[in-house]
Amino acid sequence: MRALVILPTYNEVGNLGPLVEAITGQGERFHLLIIDDGSPDGTGLLADHLKTQYPGRIEVLHRQGKLGLATAYLAGFQYGIAMGYDYLFEMDADFSHHPRYLPEFISAMKMKGADVVLGSRYVEGGGVAHWPWYRRLISVGGSQYARIVLGLSIRDLTGGFKCFRREVLEAIQLDEIEASGYGFQIEMTYRAVQHGFKVVEIPIIFEDRREGQSKMSASIFTEALWMVAKLRISEQMHRKARLEGDRIRS
């Protein structure tokens, strides 16, 4: 059993070294794919150096320019599928997602029969540390909005610490994923549910980044709100088309 932790990076030179050490310390089964979007602070050079320090455990993908979180994860998924990894993780590179939880994701996969495991801030035992009230409000409100509109019971739809079985990513049409940012996280989970896969949440404590600046912006949040509505409208249209097709055939 092998697991690939996908780490998109942009200006994370202060976090990357300690984070890689913490991830590799969780066991030999955890490998890393660092995807750097041309960080001007030298993150990409550090990633190449770390690859030589952990032979066989780290690969690095360099991209020209800031191409975004969603496209980085999609590239990571395609790499992981091609390389035959059993489990593929999404994880922030700023220590807001602590590596100590990685084995718990694998345990949930095995013991609870999960296909997707979400690190959840909003189930019992989960939480957020060092966030101002307005950021908590945006996060909780965004998740609740998505739950209501999409008809899902999952409590933390905007979280970005998650693990997929390879089979889930093979079933989802990755080339049809449209969203980025928070919207990407919502869309990936929603499409997994639509394909009939089991999603399980486990509690995590989300901690604010140790170094650098947050990538969160108003445009990312607005895009997520629009993507939720778009997913719902698309599902209603597909359902209507299926019903009309059944009516014609009968």
Tens-digit pLDDT profile for residues 199-213: 999 999 998 755 545
pLDDT band at 60 (very low <50, low <70, confident <90, very high): very high
* 3-249 fold: Spore Coat Polysaccharide Biosynthesis Protein SpsA; Chain A (3.90.550)
Pairing of strands 87-90, 58-62: unpaired
Q: What is the pLDDT of residue 241?
A: 53
Q: How confident is the model at residue 23 (pLDDT cuts 50, 70, 90)?
A: very high
pTM comes to 0.86
- In which order are the strands placed within the sheet that holds 199-203? 58-62, 30-36, 3-9, 87-90, 162-165, 116-120, 199-203
Cα–Cα distances in angstroms (integers) from residue 77 to residues 58, 71, 87, in the given order: 15, 10, 10
Alpha-carbon gap, residue 2 to 29, rounded angstroms = 5
CA distance 143 to 134: 14
